Each structure stands twice: as C-alpha cells, then as structure tokens.
Amino acid sequence: MNQPNTLQPLVLGIESSCDETGVGIVRGTTLLTNTVSSSMDEHVRFGGVIPEIASRAHLDAFVPTLQEALHEAGVTLDDIDAIAVTSGPGLAGALMVGVCAAKALSIATGKPLYAINHLVAHVGVGLLKDADGGTGGRGGLRGGQLPENLGALLVSGGHTEILRIRSITDDVEMLGSTIDDAAGEAYDKVARLLGLGYPGGPAIDKLAKQGNAKAIRFPRGLTQPKYMGTAEEPGPHRYDWSFSGLKTAVARCVEQFEARGEEVPVADIAAAFQEAVVDVITSKAVLACKENGITDLLLGGGVAANSRLRELTGQRCSSAGITLHVPPLSLCTDNGAMVAALGSQLIMAGIAPSGVAFAPDSSLPVTTVSV
Amino acid sequence: MLILAIDTSAVASAALISDDAMEGVVESFATEDTRSHAEVLAPGIDKLLCDAGVSAADIDLIVTGVGPGPFTGLRSGIATARTLAFAWNKPLFGLMSLDAIALEVAESTEAKPEFLVATDARRKEVYWARYTLKDGQLPQLVDGPHVGFASELPDLPVFGAGGGIYADVVNANGEFSTTQPDAASLGQFALALLAAGVELPDSTPLYLRESDAQVPGPRKRAL
Ligand SMILES: [Zn+2]
C-alpha cells in the first residue's frame, strides 16, 4: 500500500448508511467536492426509509456519484491518497454496498482504506473549510480546529445523540441518545398521522408556523425525576430521549378530535408536537453540555434544517454561555465529505488504515472512531 | 483473453479465467458460508491477483453473477465488480448465476437432456431455472429464473443446493446436492459464450422479489 501524504492528504469519502449515496473529496481540511445522490423520492409513498429500496439505490448510484465527484474535484483516482468509508452505524444492507465499493476501490488503486464511524464523521465535517480558503469555517467550526470542550448534537431521521469529543480521532463519548425512535422518524410518523406527507420534518416545520404551539401540551419523554435524577446522582436516562410516547399522544389527540366530530386542528398539533420535540432535545442537550463542561456545541444531522430547532438551540446555548456551531445544511445531512473529513483527520493523526477485511457494523459504538 | 469473474449469489467466489490456461481456470477462491461476503470478497480478490501474478493491465474484462440470490450478498459482488470495472476502466458484463451450476452439470457424467438448477432463496423458497442440453453444446436456459416453493417445481431432476435442501419434495441429484454458483464456472461460461460470438448482458441484478415494502394504507379514523 502507498503511504498517504500525512500533511494535506487528498481523501475520498464514501457514505451509504441510510438513503444518501455520498462521495466527497477533501484535501486536509479543505472541501473539494460533496456529491450526493438521494433515494428519498423512492421512499415517499412508504412514509419512511425502506432499507431494501435504499440498498438497491446505493448499488445503482455509487459509480455515477463517484464519477461525478472526481470530475467536480478535478482529480483522478491516482491522485487520491486514501479512501474512507462509513462502516457503521446504519442500515446493514445499505452499509454493505458502500463498504464493498470502498474495498474494491482500495484493492483496485492500492490506496489505504479507513473504515470510520458515521456519527463521528458528522462532527468531523465541522472542521472543513472552503476550497477558496474562506475564513468563516465552512463546516461551522472556525479555523479548522476543534475547540477544546466540544460536544455534538446530532438529530436526523436516523439518530438523536449528544456526544462529547475530547479527540476526534480516538476519544469520543456518547452522553445520551434516543432509546426508541430518532427525532426525524417521529416527525415522519406524525406527519403521516396528520396527512402531511414525507419527509415529515419540513412539512411539519412549515405548518407549525401557522399553528399555536401552546394550544395543546404534548409530553416530553424521559423528563420525570426517576429518569433524570440529579447532577450528583444522575438517573438512568438523564441525557436520553424517547419519542414513541409523544407519537402515541399525537395519535390519541387526533382521534379525540375525530371522535367528537370536530375538525382536527392540524397546524396547532404540528406546532405543539414540534415544540415538544425541540424543547426536550435542546433542554437535555444544554443540560448535558453544562454538566460536562462543554463550551462549544456542533449541530449535525438533517433535522438541523428545522427552523425551530435552530432557534431554540441558539437561544438556550447562548443563555448557557455555549457557542453553537451549525455547518451549512448540505454538510449536516448524510454525505461523503464528512467521511472524507474524518478520514483526513485520522491520517493527519498518524492512525493506521483499516485494511480490507473488516465487516460493516450496523451498531458500531461511537467510541470506535475508526475500525 | 483474461476474465475476472465474481459471484456472490450464494457463497462469495472469484476466479481468473483465461483461454490460455488448463481448463480455463488460472486461480479461484470460494467461501463456504453465505453470510460474510463483505469481509472476505475484497481480500480474496486481492490474494487471487497476487497469487496469479496478475495486474489490472492484464485483465480484459470483468464478469459478475447477477443472481438470483439473497439481496445483500448478491449486491456485495455486483458493487465490487462495478467499482473494479470503473477504477480499472474495464468492460463489465453480468451473467445469470444459475448458469454456473448448469455448466458444471453439462460437463459432468450426471448431465441430462433437460434439468433444473436450484439454489436456496430462504423463506422456504428456491431460485430455479430450467435448462436443456444438446451434445457438445452449452446448456440452454429455456425457463426462468424464477423464485418459488420447491414443491411446485416442474418434475425434472434438480441440480444445486436448492435441490439438496428440499430432497424430500424434489428429484434432487445427489452429486450436486450442495453445489452453489461459483465464479470459476461462471467465468468459463462467459468465455465460452464470447468464443461463440454471443453478446453478454450488463450487470443489472436479478432480484426476482420486490422490496417487501408495504405502502401504508389510509389511517383508520376514530368514529
Ligand atoms: Zn447521519
């Protein structure tokens, strides 16, 4: 295997853990291209991501996406120093396509392969800056350097997690996560209940603006004292979330209006549901930050597009003295650039590649940054 | 002519096939289990090339089995083949995976003028196809591939692991009761077809089953 350039490595990243086939290319911390092909449209009539449909779409999208990424970045496979691929967590069949393709690229080109953790990659993307040397910090974290006390709040159709990052290459800890549905999944299910279509996030966010969030009060999961405990004696789910009870509460509420023969106040329900989700996510995330000395919080995942989530996270972070970093949306949703960004960090830190014999792991723990 | 053949419709296998080599096979490997394709396939191909002293430049084309087979495993071979073909800039073709077993039947003393090839489709079903065989010719696919219950197969001798599993309800050939599609045979079939001037199909997978996804019905309204 060739030795990669460890100062400014040119890394190609491959992502296929859910319904986006992503290929991104970075040089060091500079983003060259971020090419994504989504199968989202094929899932619309099912109201959620169907793993087999996503896997089939990955197989057909991979080579065209790779080709386009190389073209956009103006590089060839020969120029690449290393390849990085999401090896988990994610949908098993979907991961398999990206992993097999990445391994084939590695043996075809002789370039080293890094099997990396998808969740940590959502954080790694924060380090990217624009190819034109933009000063703002393209990925959200200024200057391409990780703040010392960094946390990450990841919210999407596939995950709801709060992480602490001491070192992005080898010391990441899960502080809390959802114990059932991901927040984005809850949005999809509630949107279906309300007849709003898929994906649910944007539909509910839009309608919620016309509704009264205080008209109905929906439960905030895992907020009772027995789950929360205290800072000194934390309960079993102090920083964890649960959205399945909320979804049931919305269903009950809709049924009650129907049973009374009244018109269902869809906008109010959407607003109240969104408020319940966003309130519990942000309050627990900020609590986790305060109690763990986190001073900088990176927001990642597709639900980062949600206007209310951004607003309330911003407000609560600023009153708690936490600096919030939000990468542009194209880097928040699943993509290959984040995989390449983390791969690049691993190379710059001198971490050994994974070889081509590893297995994808649909439940890869966040403590395993690279395999 | 040097062909890299890959098939993961049941087990993971790969082979280098050449019209210059004895019986056509330069090097080959196959696993026994049907669930570790993503781990073993790439290292297997890498070793295959290394053992044979073959580099990308020596390979003329790539052939992949396009199934039918369990989806996730099947895709691992096709994804690998498509990516290698792109990276090396080689032509890529797909062959129906059951053809691999049909060729082995044709070349064996068990050969029959008409027979079925079947592999395990899980969920109590088999993937199967019907072939006819004339002396000195390649087996001819006349029906299939299909997926269905073993008990509903046409009444013909059945070759391949799909017959072996359901030997109680089908006329399974004992010599072939555990045979799986293998890249070496698939590559030989491809070589023979090319020699006969046949144009090979592309690498579109033969899933035969829908994705199982259910379109949700309208929500029941409370009355
Ligand atoms: Zn993600």
pLDDT tens for B172-197 read 999 999 999 999 999 999 999 999 99
Q: Is A313 helix (H, G, I), strand (E, B) or coil?
A: helix
pLDDT confidence band for B22 (50 / 70 / 90): confident
State which residue of chain A sits closest to B56, comparing Cα positions. Answer: A108
Mean per-residue pLDDT, A199-225: 95
Complex ipTM over 0.85: yes
pLDDT in the model for residue B212: 74
State which residue of chain A sits closest to B59, comparing Cα positions. Answer: A108
The answer to whether residues A107 and A25 touch, using CB atoms and an 8 Å cutoff, is no
B213 touches chain A (CB under 8 A): yes
Cross-chain residue pair A66–B80, CB shorter than 8 Å: no
Name the residue among A45, A52, A357 with its Cβ closest to that of B43.
A357
State which residue of chain A sits closest to B57, comparing Cα positions. Answer: A108
Which residues does chain A have within 8 Å of residue B221's beta carbon, measured at their own beta carbons?
258
DSSP conformation letters of A115-155: EEEHHHHHHHGGG-B-TT--SS-TTSSGGG---SSEEEEEE
Q: Cα-flanking dihedrals φ and ψ of residue A365, to 5°?
A: -70, 150
* Nearest-CA distance B38 → chain A (Å): 6
Mean per-residue pLDDT, A116-138: 77
pLDDT in the model for residue B221: 60
Look at the alpha carbons of B94, B99, B101, B105 in this order and tell me if their dihedral is positive or negative.
negative
Q: What is the model's pTM?
A: 0.94
> Which contacts qualify for A218-222: CB closer than 8 Å, 24 or more apart?
A218/A246, A218/A249, A218/A250, A218/A253, A218/A272, A218/A273, A218/A275, A218/A276, A219/A245, A219/A246, A219/A249, A219/A276, A220/A246, A220/A276, A220/A279, A220/A280, A220/A283, A221/A245, A221/A246, A221/A280, A222/A179, A222/A280
pLDDT in the model for residue A105: 98
pLDDT confidence band for B222 (50 / 70 / 90): low
pLDDT in the model for residue B100: 98
Cross-chain residue pair A63–B83, CB shorter than 8 Å: yes
CA dist., res. B96 & res. B65, Å (int): 6
**CA A326 to ligand 1 centroid distance, Å:** 15
Which residues does chain B have within 8 Å of residue A355's beta carbon, measured at their own beta carbons?
43
pLDDT in the model for residue A142: 57
pLDDT in the model for residue A135: 39
B79 touches chain A (CB under 8 A): yes
* Nearest-CA distance A167 → chain B (Å): 28
Cross-chain residue pair B76–A97, CB shorter than 8 Å: yes
pLDDT in the model for residue A140: 61
Q: Is the pLDDT of residue A132 over 60?
A: no
Which residues does chain A have within 8 Å of residue B12's beta carbon, measured at their own beta carbons?
none
**pLDDT tens digits, residue range A304-339?**
889 999 999 999 999 999 999 999 989 999 999 999
CA dist., res. A123 & res. A31, Å (int): 15
pLDDT in the model for residue B13: 97
Which of B41, B135, B138 is CA-nearest to residue B99?
B138
Which of B67, B196, B42, B217 is CA-nearest to residue B128?
B67
DSSP conformation letters of B53-107: T--GGG--EEEEE--SS-HHHHHHHHHHHHHHHHHHT--EEEE-THHHHHHHHHT
Name the residue among A99, A109, A259 with its Cβ closest to that of B87.
A109
**pLDDT tens digits, residue range A164-179?**
999 999 999 999 999 9
Q: Is the pLDDT of residue A206 over 70?
A: yes
* Nearest-CA distance B78 → chain A (Å): 8
pLDDT in the model for residue B118: 98
Name the residue among B82, B207, B211 with its Cβ closest to that of A50.
B211
Cross-chain residue pair A108–B88, CB shorter than 8 Å: yes
B163 touches chain A (CB under 8 A): no
**Structure-block tokens of residue B192:** 């023979």
Cross-chain residue pair A104–B42, CB shorter than 8 Å: yes
pLDDT in the model for residue A355: 97
Q: Is the pLDDT of residue A265 over 90?
A: yes
State which residue of chain A sits closest to B203, comparing Cα positions. Answer: A60
Please give the share of chain A, as a percent, with pLDDT higher than 90.
85
B177 touches chain A (CB under 8 A): no
Residues with CB under 5 A from ligand 1 (ion): A 334
**CA A122 to ligand 1 centroid distance, Å:** 7
State which residue of chain A sits closest to B88, comparing Cα positions. Answer: A108
**CA A308 to ligand 1 centroid distance, Å:** 20
**CA B80 to ligand 1 centroid distance, Å:** 24
Name the residue among A56, A108, A192 with its Cβ closest to that of B56.
A108
Cross-chain residue pair B216–A46, CB shorter than 8 Å: yes
Mean per-residue pLDDT, A201-212: 95
Name the residue among A50, A66, A100 with its Cβ closest to that of B86.
A66
Mean pLDDT across chain B: 94
Which residues does chain B have within 8 Å of residue A59's beta carbon, measured at their own beta carbons?
75, 78-79, 82, 205
Name the residue among B71, B82, B222 with its Cβ closest to that of A93.
B71
